[in-house]
Amino acid sequence: MTTSPCNSAALEGGCQCRAVRFRLPAPPLLTVLCHCRSCRRAHSAPAVAWALYAQGDVEFSGEAPQVYESSPGARRSFCPRCGSRIGFEADYIPGLIDIAIGSLDEPARLPPQMHIWDEERLPWLQLADELPRHAAFPPMA
Ligand SMILES: [Zn+2]
Ligand SMILES: [Zn+2]
């Protein structure tokens, strides 16, 4: 894989109405495509691609995302104006935050490395890739 100056630039993203913006100066720790029911319902989408970062590596600007406790100990954030989903934090991943890859300006730059919660995947969602599949949450290194 070759790197160009363009590809090494920090990733940026935000919500659809651009009230919430963020910058990601460091590479993600992990990227996944999550098939869990909770992500599906929260995003009204068949699956959600996430990039995991240290909280200090996500620089928010503009309007502060609104936070909602989607299940005990888990918090999802979204734009208070347009409702775009942005982030996920949970007590079981302290100090970390998932950023929805779909909220990036250039989401093609962060392909998922694996499927997680594949046991909850919609049966009609068949993706012809050879990425590893984990039935639930992947083993933590
Ligand atoms: Zn917005
Ligand atoms: Zn999920």
The number of the ligand nearest the C-alpha atom of 78 reads 1
Structure tokens at 91: 């007590």
> From the CA of 61, how far away is ligand 1's center (Å)?
12
pTM over 0.75: yes
pLDDT at 7 (0 to 100): 56
Tell me which residue has tokens 């100056």.
5
> From the CA of 17, how far away is ligand 1's center (Å)?
4
Domain spanning 11-120, CATH class? mainly beta
CB 42 within 8 A of CB 76: yes
Dihedral sign of CA atoms 115, 105, 67, 96 in order: positive
Read off the pLDDT of residues 82-124 as tens digits, 9 standing for 90 and up.
999 999 999 999 999 999 999 999 999 999 999 999 999 999 9
How far apart CA 21 and CA 7 sit, in angstroms, is 19
Delimit the domains of the chain by residue range.
Answer: 11-120
pLDDT at 128 (0 to 100): 81
CB 104 within 8 A of CB 12: yes
